[in-house]
Every structure is written in C-alpha cells, then in structure tokens.
C-alpha cells in the first residue's frame, strides 16, 4: 500500500508540474489561452487535436476501414455548444442602418430557395432528386477528398435547377493552402476559406479530378478562372438528439443539399438495403451529403435495429456502383450524422471589383476576452478609385448581433478617421456572411479605410474568428502590424499581431468600380495546371510587369537552418504595385511555398530558414499590379550546417499589450506518454 501511495504521489506531482509549465507553439497541439478577462483564444477542437496527434504518430490509414476511402479532418473550431439550437430564419441576415445611410429592411443570401417553412408543414418524405436539385454521383477513388465532393455537391445543388454546374474537387483539394496533403483530408471550414478568398469554384473541365496526392502548393486568390464567388456559407447547428432534425430538413427544403459528416464503420452498413446505422461513440471520419429524408423508413432494414423508424437520404462519393446507385440511408438514431452541417451558396464571379483580405486560410481559432461581445477591425488601403460596397465576416453562434462601421482617412487605430457608415442587425445562422452596405463609400487610390465590427455571440465567449498559424495545419498564416485590431470597449485597441504573431481577424471588404460597375471578369480558359501562381483581379488593359529589386539577401549568401534572414525589397510598376508576396523553395525551385502575402511595395521581412533545409535555399519576391501582371526577383542562398547547440532557447519581449499565458490542451496524453516510457 505504501509503495502504491508513493507511485500515485509521483503521478500527481508530475501532473502538477506539467500544468505549471507554460507551453508555447502549436507543435504541442495547443494555442495560447489565458485567464478570465484577458485576451484568449478558444481551445482547439479536441477531435482535431486527436487527429493531429494520430497523424504525427503515423497511425492514420484511410484505407483500413473500408473498401473505399474517407478523408474527413475535424475542424479546429469547436461549435458543439450550438447543437440543438433551433434556427428561426434560414435566410441568415437582417440589417438596419442609422443616420449615416439609408434604411435596409432585410438581407438574405442569393441562393435559390423554395420559401420558408415551419416544422409543422414539413412533409414526411422529401427527396431533392425528385426536385431536380442533385447532380450526378462522383467517385473520389483512393484519396481522402470526401470533404471536397460534399462541399460541391451542396453548392451545385443550391444552384439547381436554374443552373447546372460541375465544379472541380481537384482544384479545391490540391490548392486549399493548408499543411495537409491533397489526399490527407479536409473539412467544411477549409472549403469555406478556399471559396471565400475566391480561389474557386472552378469548373471540372478546367481542372479534372485525379487521385494522385500532392503536397501543399501555392494558392491563387483571387483566381480569374473562378466561375462562381461564394459570399455565404451557413453552418447549420448540429442535432441535439436523434429526432432533432428540423434544422436539417428546413435547410434541405428551403435551400438544397447539406454537407454533413458520419462515422464510417463497415460493420454498421447493410449492403442489401443500402442502409447505415452507427451507434458508437467515436468521432466523424467521412463527409457525405444529405439530400432528403424519410420519416417512415423501416428500422428493420438496418444491421442492428435502432429505437425507431426514420432515415436521412444520403449521397456518397464512392461512385454509382456503390450502395443504391451511389446513395444510402442513414438512421435518425445514428450517433454522428448531423453533428457538423454546412450549406454553400454562391453568386456570379463578376459580383465585385476588388476583394480586400488578410485571411486566405480563414477561421482557424476564435478570440475573446471572457465576454460574448467584442470589437474587431481591419485596416485596408484602397488600390484604386472605387466604391466600398460590402463587408464579410464569420459568426460562431446562432442569432449573433452585429454593428458594422466604416471609417475613412484612418491612421493609427481603426477608429481614428471619419465614420461614414453604421449598420446593425442579427444573423440567425452561424457561418460566413457578406453584408451589403446600404450606401457605397467612395474610396480614393492609396486611401486607408477600416471595417469595424462589434459582434455579440450568445452563449459563446470567443466572438472573433481569426486566422492563426497552427502547426501541422495552418502554419502558412502570416500577418504584419497595422492590419488587424481587437478591442473589448471599442476605444482602446490592440494590434492583434502583437498578441498573437501572424494572426489576423477574418474580415473582408468588397468594392465595385467608381463607375458603379463590377470588374470585367475574363472568360475562363481550361488549364491543366493545379498549382497556379498568385494573381489579382484584372482591371485595365495593362501588360507591363512590375520590377522587383532585392537588396537583401545578397546572392549566394550563407544561411544556417533555424537562422533568420532579412529580406529587403523595392518594387515599381508603370500603373502601381498592388501587392508583394514572398515564397521559398527547398528543392532548387521545383516547388515553392508562400510565406508572406499582400505586403507593401517596399519593405523588410524577417524570414526563418527551415530546420530541414540543406544544400540550396531559394527566396523569391513577387510583385503584382492591379491588372494581374507579375514580376519577380530570386536569391539563392548556400545552406551551411549549424555550429550552434541544438537546444532551443525561447526569448520573451516586454510589451504594453496584454500577453496571454499558455495552457496545454492535451496534458493528459502527455502524462500518459511520459508514464509509458
């Protein structure tokens, strides 16, 4: 007994020791969080933490559970708190304005609908196939791309029957921009980021599907080959119980097909009836598309009998030879289906002239200060004379209330200029939303303007969606000072990058041209490439490329792994430079990874040399103008072995901004791992 007491005493002591150690860096599956009342980030979704741990431990095998492949990566954002909340209005957004602009009665997404319905008027059986609102069944092959197929199955369905499209899942999975390989998987939020930054949607013919897996590649945004722009994605709250199906049914009836997820286990499937019923406790691992329901579906058709009748009609991505022509039935009593749901809507690709954004990787984690209400803002610089027409941002909770402000002539803080627009409203459904301004704001070239949002998310104390460099997932996120700001009061503002380096709030701004028209969008040309280089929207007929001068580093400078390199550049153009990107290559230019985007035409950037580089390390600085022309300058550096100790030394810097402490999100697994050694 005494020996056991000593052992448990040691375990408790070890636990307290691990709890007391501040852990920095997402390599430990953590993000920084703090005590109540101070700036903090939401905990990473535990299901994603488990996925990341398993993938690094090489325990993932997408082919081991089924004859077909899966491919769902859990979202880093945990919205499980909203499960069971009933949506009153699938339209999404209502808005009011004050004395700065005209009154707007209501706003909604542009997707085709059948009109609002109540729970009592929903039919007992509904199938989108009978409505002409389902595209053909696709085949993902031996690649974890189910999430891409489910995303576009929803988007294509929403457009039917008026418009028939076949979008490119290949382009989405190959150019999503995250650390994952193209066949490692993804989720609805990754798809939202790709679509919201205007990287797609592309047509299938322009980038046909292939099961060949590729590593992360450079991303293109905006992409002139896009045939649709996504301005609204609805995250339908997860089911609170087996019969809590009204939200999903209304989304199907009023909008179209719904992206959703299941836990696929071969033993839970009965092929003779194409029926599926999983009653376990494991998390989702496969994305599918719900296209209807049948309240009377006989429970005796499942492998094991659920408590009652009823099933969702589901479209899969394993080809038409699987299941019932590619479809199957999932019991209402399945323990996983309907937990994560999304509806993707779209607009024409010439809807706006310019898109202003700092968050190409979208919503990675959430920020708050122990309150349901927070202010956040972005400062942008106008590329030309144009009219600010709309603003977009994410909401985490149903029935979120917002106030939106536009300032011009800002310097320093985002509220230092003149307030020109103020709108407020309620957004009934969580997700990504675009709010058209009731009156446009004329911008002059080079003028700084800010978008300020006050957002209240009921029952959720992390109101602000931010892009964050989470190792193993979104490590390519980059930010510089003077872009994104947060405030608990709206008066005292903090530059987000001083609290969380390389992080930006997720706000985008959209303009029309000064003449009141949108940009001339070039005709989409089919292309076999899946790794296009970054471009911007096309404006005037300008064919001259910018010129880039690199003063640092010098050619064939010596660098060591883990060291820093100062990149100093200056770019010029006959019409004006609209942005500068920095990319690096570890394989002599065969592949490039973008490390910084949308920088000023002249500047300095401190670059960290990767630890795993050897031989030659290449740095490329690319400038582009508003017409989409690009010019680059490249430096090759010689990599020398480091003579320093391999011990990593962490340094701290004193600052006047709140610096949060760090809390590990997976201490239990660390203790278990330590004790098993």
Q: Could you tell me the CA-to-CA distances from 626 to 222, 325, 540, 545 in Å, in that order? A: 11, 48, 8, 10
Q: Which of 45, 170, 247, 316 is catalytic?
A: 316
Q: Which of 48-82 are b and which e, b meaning 16 or more Cβ less than 10 Å from the residue's Cβ?
A: bbebbeeeeeeebebeebeebbbbbbbbbbbbeeb
3-state secondary structure of 449: strand
Q: Which residues contact 59 (CB under 8 A, 6 or more apart)?
A: none
Q: Which helix (H) or strand (E) holds 570?
A: strand 564-572
- Is residue 657 within 8 Å of residue 499, measured between CB atoms? yes
Token pair 């917002």: residue: 402
Q: Measure the CA–CA gap between 312 and 377, rounded to whole angstroms.
A: 41
Supply the DSSP string of 209-270, one letter for each residue: ------------SS-TT-SEEEEEEEEPPPPSSTT--HHHHHHHHHT--EEEEE---GGGEE
Q: Is 146 considered catalytic here?
A: yes
Q: Which of 45, 174, 285, 286 is catalytic?
A: 286
Token pair 């040691």: residue: 10
Q: Is 174 considered catalytic here?
A: no
Q: Which helix (H) or strand (E) holds 548?
A: strand 547-552
Q: State the alpha helices, DSSP H only, in 300-448.
A: none
Token pair 């307030």: residue: 419
- Is residue 31 within 8 Å of residue 468, measured between CB atoms? yes
Supply the DSSP string of 583-643, one letter for each residue: EEESSTTSS-EEEEEEE-SEEEEEEEPPTT--SEEEEEEEEEETTS-EEEEEEEEEE----
Catalytically active residues are: 146, 286, 316
């Amino acid at each position: 007994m005494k020996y056991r007491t000593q052992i448990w005493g040691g375990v408790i002591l070890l636990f307290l020791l691990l709890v007391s150690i501040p852990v920095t860096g997402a390599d430990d599956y953590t993000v920084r969080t703090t005590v109540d009342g101070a700036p903090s980030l939401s905990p990473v979704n535990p299901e994603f933490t488990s996925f990341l741990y398993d993938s690094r431990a090489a325990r993932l095998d997408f082919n081991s559970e089924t004859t077909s492949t899966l491919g769902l990566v859990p979202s880093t954002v945990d919205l499980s708190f909203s499960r069971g909340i009933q949506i009153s209005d699938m339209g999404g957004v209502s808005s009011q304005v004050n004395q700065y602009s005209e009154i707007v009665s209501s706003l909604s997404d542009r997707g085709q609908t059948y009109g609002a319905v109540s729970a009592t008027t929903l039919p007992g059986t509904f199938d989108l196939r009978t409505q002409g609102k389902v595209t053909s069944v696709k085949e993902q092959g031996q690649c974890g791309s189910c999430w891409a197929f489910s995303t576009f199955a929803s988007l294509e369905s929403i457009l039917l029957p008026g418009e028939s499209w076949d979008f490119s899942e290949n382009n989405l999975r190959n150019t999503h921009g995250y650390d994952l390989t193209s066949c490692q998987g993804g989720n609805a939020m990754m798809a939202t980021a790709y679509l919201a930054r205007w990287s797609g949607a592309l047509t299938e013919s322009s980038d046909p599907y292939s099961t060949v897996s590729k590593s992360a590649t450079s991303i293109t945004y905006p992409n002139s080959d896009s045939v649709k722009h996504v301005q609204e994605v609805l995250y339908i709250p997860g089911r609170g119980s087996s019969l809590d199906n009204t939200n999903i049914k209304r989304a199907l009836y009023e909008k179209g097909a719904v992206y959703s997820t299941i836990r696929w286990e071969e033993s839970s499937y009965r092929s003779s009836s194409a029926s599926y019923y999983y009653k376990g406790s494991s998390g989702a691992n496969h994305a599918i598309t719900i296209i209807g329901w049948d309240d009377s579906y006989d429970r005796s058709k499942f492998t094991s009998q659920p408590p009652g009748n009823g099933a969702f009609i589901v479209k899969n991505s394993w080809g038409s030879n699987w299941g019932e022509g590619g479809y199957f039935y999932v019991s209402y009593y399945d323990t996983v289906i309907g937990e994560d749901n999304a509806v993707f809507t779209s607009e024409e690709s010439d809807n706006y002239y310019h898109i202003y954004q700092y968050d190409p990787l979208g919503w990675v984690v959430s920020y708050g200060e122990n309150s349901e209400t927070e202010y956040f803002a972005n400062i942008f610089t106008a590329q030309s004379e144009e009219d600010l027409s709309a603003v977009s941002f994410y909401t985490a909770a149903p029935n979120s209330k917002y106030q939106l402000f536009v300032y011009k002539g800002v310097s320093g803080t985002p509220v230092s200029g003149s307030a020109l627009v103020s709108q407020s409203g309620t957004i009934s459904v969580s997700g990504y939303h675009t709010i058209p301004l009731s009156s446009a704001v004329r911008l002059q070239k080079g003028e700084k303007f800010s978008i300020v949002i006050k957002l209240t998310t009921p029952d959720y104390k992390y109101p602000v969606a931010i892009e964050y460099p989470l190792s193993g997932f979104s490590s390519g996120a980059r930010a510089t000072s003077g872009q994104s700001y947060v405030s608990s009061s709206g008066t005292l503002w903090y530059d987000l990058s001083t609290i969380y380096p390389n992080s930006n709030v997720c706000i985008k701004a959209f303009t029309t041209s000064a003449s009141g028209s949108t940009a001339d969008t070039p005709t989409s040309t089919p292309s076999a490439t899946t790794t296009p280089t970054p471009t911007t929207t096309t404006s005037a007929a300008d064919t001259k490329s910018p010129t880039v001068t690199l003063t640092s580093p010098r050619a064939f400078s010596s660098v060591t792994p883990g060291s820093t390199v100062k990149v100093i550049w200056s770019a010029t153009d006959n019409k004006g430079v609209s942005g500068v990107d920095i990319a690096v290559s570890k394989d002599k230019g065969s592949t490039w990874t973008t490390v910084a985007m949308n920088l000023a035409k002249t500047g300095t950037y401190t670059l960290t040399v990767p630890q795993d580089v050897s031989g030659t390390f290449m740095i490329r600085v690319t400038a582009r103008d508003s017409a989409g022309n690009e010019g680059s300058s490249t430096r090759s550096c010689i990599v020398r072995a480091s003579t320093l100790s391999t011990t990593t030394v962490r340094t701290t810097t004193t600052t006047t901004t709140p610096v949060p402490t760090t809390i590990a999100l997976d201490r239990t697994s660390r203790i278990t791992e330590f004790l098993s050694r």
